[in-house]
């Protein structure tokens, strides 16, 4: 998919760091970014529109800790009916602007028995159960044809954030994220299967963006906000309202963690 033409002000901004904010986590952009500008997705010709609840659908760009950042306030999902090419277009667009480090956040269900709603998990690996790969058809794009995926999530940056979290007494888990298509939540039997596969948390995003970013040579850091325990572990029925409520409850602590990561990048 051809990259769209952006306004000159954004094209000249030359961001260093890209952010993708997950469900219930969009307040970070308003609270922590020293604003230079906004660009609604519907103002970009041919750009997909975010339709998921709680995803505003705009780029916000400005500075954090003196670093130039561009932030997706609202992401795109496979379950919205978009192709892999469409939902990873923002990553390729950010890279074309100069972004070399990408922070990807998400709301996820906790599979690991030690995880509870409100916890944060650094991604150290992922499992792709989306049934496809976002690199199919992107052979003409920049980057290597067969990108190595032995370290998707940057180990040096993870270590720095672990050290910061320990020093600031913020509990931070680390584990494997598994991506499904959604939009239905998983069954208890599926969660038992995912446990056997080695997953610690499950969600409906992140993996396509991370794969494309690595193809393009970008550093990637993933952070999950555990907003609920998964089916068969949770004692209540799963709902998007629970996801949003938990994310809102820990939004300030999440913002501290993400801002520290940007400062350390």
As annotated, the active-site residues are 23, 55, 77, 79-80, 107, 204-205, 228, 240
Residue 239 CB neighbour total at 10 angstroms: 11
| Residue with tokens 């529109």, as numbered in its chain | 49
CA–CA distances in Å: residue 43 to residues 7, 12, 29, 66, 121:
10, 18, 19, 27, 34
216 exposure class (CB count in 10 Å sphere: 0-12, 13-18, 19+): buried
Give CA–CA dist 240/227, Å, rounded.
10
- The 10 Å CB-count burial string (b at 16+, else e) for 25-60 is bbbbbeebbeebebbebeebeebbebebebbbbbbb
Give 104's contacts (C-beta < 8 A, 6+ positions apart). 20, 206, 209, 210, 213, 220, 221, 222, 223
Could you tell me if 205 and 110 are in contact, meaning their C-beta atoms sit under 8 angstroms apart?
A: no
Give CA–CA dist 26/9, Å, rounded.
23
């Amino acid at each position: 998919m051809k990259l769209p033409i952006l306004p000159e002000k954004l094209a000249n901004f030359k961001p260093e760091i890209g952010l993708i904010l997950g469900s219930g986590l969009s307040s970070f952009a308003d609270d922590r970014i020293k604003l230079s500008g906004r660009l609604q997705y519907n103002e970009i010709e041919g750009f997909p529109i975010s339709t998921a609840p709680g995803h505003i659908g705009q780029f916000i760009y400005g500075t954090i800790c003196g670093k130039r950042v561009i932030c997706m306030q609202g992401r795109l999902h496979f379950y919205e009916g978009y192709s892999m090419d469409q939902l990873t277009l923002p990553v390729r667009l950010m890279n074309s602007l100069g972004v070399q480090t990408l922070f990807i956040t998400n709301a996820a269900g906790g599979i690991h028995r030690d995880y509870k709603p409100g916890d944060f998990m650094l991604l150290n690996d992922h499992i792709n159960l989306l049934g496809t790969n976002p690199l199919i058809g992107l052979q003409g794009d920049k980057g290597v044809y067969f990108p190595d995926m032995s370290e998707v999530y940057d180990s040096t940056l993870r270590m720095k954030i672990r050290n910061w979290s320990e020093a600031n007494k913020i509990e931070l888990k680390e584990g494997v994220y598994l991506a499904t298509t959604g939009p239905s939540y998983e069954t208890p039997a599926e969660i038992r299967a995912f446990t056997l596969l080695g997953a610690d948390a499950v969600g409906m995003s992140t993996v396509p963006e991370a794969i494309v970013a690595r193809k393009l040579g970008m550093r990637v850091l993933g952070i999950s906000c555990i907003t609920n325990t998964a089916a068969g572990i949770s004692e209540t029925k799963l709902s998007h309202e629970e996801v949003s409520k938990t994310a809102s409850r820990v939004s300030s602590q999440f913002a501290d963690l993400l801002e520290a990561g940007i400062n350390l990048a």
